[in-house]
Amino acid sequence: MKKFTILVVLIIAVAFVGSAMAVPPGKNVELKGGAMGKVTFDGKSHADKGLKCDDCHKGNTPFAMKKGTAKIKMADHNAGKLCFSCHDGKKAFASKENCAKCHKKAAAGY
Ligand code: HEC
Ligand code: HEC
Ligand code: HEC
């Protein structure tokens, strides 16, 4: 019985630690972003807007829970895919004219 309890506690602990690490709310994903400069996806700022895991990961759509899986191309910017399924000027700021909100060029000299 005792062993069983310990096992259950362990499983819960592992599951909890797993999700605590997994949660982009504590995490950023850095993307190179090509010539426009790197893009940082901030998990916390998205969670703070009330977005749930399922809004981005339901059935791995639009994003898999694995960094570097999404291949985000210029065409996606205007096709309402990936980030741009929300960043379309309705659910969130539009990607057109707001390049610099996502793409940060390193300051001169860096
Ligand atoms: C607004 C969209 C969005 C929300 C909401 C979101 N994520 Fe993510 N998540 C992403 C993106 C984007 C990536 C990176 C995917 C890629 O690089 O292909 C990611 C990556 C991950 C990864 C992989 C991290 C790594 O280092 O490999 C995990 C795990 C994850 N998310 C879990 C969660 C959990 C749990 C929640 C809810 C608490 C959540 N995500 C909410 C967009 C989101
Ligand atoms: C499920 C919808 C959704 C998806 C998918 C999504 N975002 Fe957002 N994002 C939002 C909302 C909502 C806000 C806050 C409202 C606003 O700023 O227009 C936001 C805000 C932001 C901001 C400004 C706040 C900050 O973190 O500095 C950036 C930058 C951003 N998103 C980048 C991205 C990138 C990059 C991706 C793809 C990897 C992405 N978002 C995918 C909904 C989304
Ligand atoms: C909502 C955030 C967001 C906004 C706004 C945004 N981008 Fe991006 N962009 C991304 C992400 C994420 C990537 C993929 C980065 C990576 O995977 O390295 C990307 C990639 C790119 C690439 C490289 C594409 C490739 O095929 O390698 C170019 C060029 C680009 N963006 C141009 C722009 C321009 C121009 C604008 C403004 C009109 C813009 N972006 C606005 C998030 C954004």
**pLDDT in the model for residue 27:** 78
Ligand 2 site-directed mutation target among 86, 95, 104, most atoms within 8 Å of CB: 86
**pLDDT in the model for residue 63:** 96
C-alpha–C-alpha distance, residues 36 and 47, integer Å: 26
Peptide bond just before 24 cis, omega within 30 deg: no
List Cβ neighbours of 22 (8 Å cut-off, separation of 6 or more): 65
> Which ligand is nearest to the Cα of residue 26, counting in written order?
1
Q: Rounded to the nearest whole angstrom, what is the distance from the C-alpha of residue 25 to the centroid of ligand 3?
A: 22
C-alpha–C-alpha distance, residues 43 and 31, integer Å: 13
Span 71-87, pLDDT tens digits: 999 999 999 999 999 99
Span 36-52, pLDDT tens digits: 999 999 999 999 999 99
Give the nearest ligand 1 atom to 29 CA: 14
